[in-house]
Structure 1
């Protein structure tokens, strides 16, 4: 598969990594560490890392706090995208997104289907724009995080930030 356009060389994107979980800690947050590792390996920066409870008000407060940081270009949330009663990340974030990137969730679910079959329908992974920041919301599993970053986020992150006029 070819890339339809080339990105400007040497652009580093500064990201925040936010794990949404009622149970994970920095010691047990395998997915959060994986996101940070994959971003760093690709030459991007991790400007912030946090774990927040799966409570809509806490998720939205963290989103707004991070959007006040002019150095951050993208926020990557992990966890809370399923359909269980405590999975509120999608609801909290989608209510605030100013623009959505429907293709992200659609392609992510299609790619997930290739790996896990019909269980992919329960994912509410999403992406969009809020206050001139890219917002990504991924499932909490390490396999889903790896899939999303390697197949979707990292190949397009620089281009998307450039499209926002941030670089």
Structure 2
């Protein structure tokens, strides 16, 4: 079980069991791999000015986990064409968040220190994206896999409840 406290300057300090740190690092690494897989079919299209352009999907995204992540980060009323157009940017932003979370995780001890608004937002983003991907991952799986997915969801939601107020407090500054 993790223990967290907020310092007077807004820094969030947590002591997490090494198993939880390892697990979160694994989710961040897995997220990057999944997002990079989703980006493989994308092509860069140059813009009309220097250093402009964007990634465009070259094929429909068929991985339900990736689609769940993208849908969790775009407005609910977005049509399919808009979701497809926003998917590459969404995945790139998710990769940035996952990599930032990995950098905040300690290598040799159990103390996690989140000091910047970007840290809080990265944690919130990664947790939200992993939660979005769990549902299609567990669907149709064995009862044991669904049970473990439910336990993971509970743990991630409790972790997000710690991080979200700090993210909101930094956003108000």
Instruction: Give your verdict on TM over 0.5.
Output: no
Task: Report the TM-score, using the length of structure 2 for normalisation.
Answer: 0.28
Q: Which has the higher helix share?
A: 2
Q: Which has the higher strand share?
A: 1
Question: Is the radius of gyration larger for structure 1 or structure 2?
Answer: 2
